[in-house]
Amino acid sequence: MKYSEVERKYKALANRRRLEIINFLAKESKSTVGVIAEKMKLSFNATSRHLQVLKTSGFVESEQVGLEQYYFIADKNDIFIKHILSIL
């Protein structure tokens, strides 16, 4: 893993809301922006921005199902993600 990739991952984690989203998705497996926003008590736009940061850094992925975009943990077997999930 390159230093820039590690830096991007840690910067993504340097926000308690994003950590809460990761923790929520680890328990729920998949969820939409609207449901995540409601559970986190955040606006739809703020939640969407947090999810984009997490997606760009490789923590979450998404898939389109009908009209809904579902987000989920990218790879629970990835060493970096496993470590983060173990401390949350």
Instruction: Please check whether residue 3 is in contact with residue 44, taking contact to mean a CB–CB distance below 8 angstroms.
Output: no
Q: What is the pLDDT of residue 6?
A: 86
Q: What is the pLDDT along the chain (88 residues), one digit of tens a residue?
A: 789 888 989 999 999 999 999 999 999 989 999 999 999 999 999 999 999 999 999 999 999 999 999 999 998 888 888 888 899 8
Q: Which residues pair with 45 in a beta bridge?
A: none
Sign of CA dihedral 57, 69, 85, 23: positive
Helix (H) or strand (E) holding 16: helix 16-28
* 28: containing domain: 3-87
Residue 75: give its domain's CATH number.
1.10.10.10
Number of structural domains (the chain) is 1
Q: What is the Cα–Cα distance from 63 to 25, expressed in whole angstroms?
A: 14
Q: What is the pLDDT of residue 55?
A: 96
Q: What is the pLDDT of residue 45?
A: 97
Say what the pTM is: 0.90
Q: What is the Cα–Cα distance from 23 to 57, expressed in whole angstroms?
A: 16
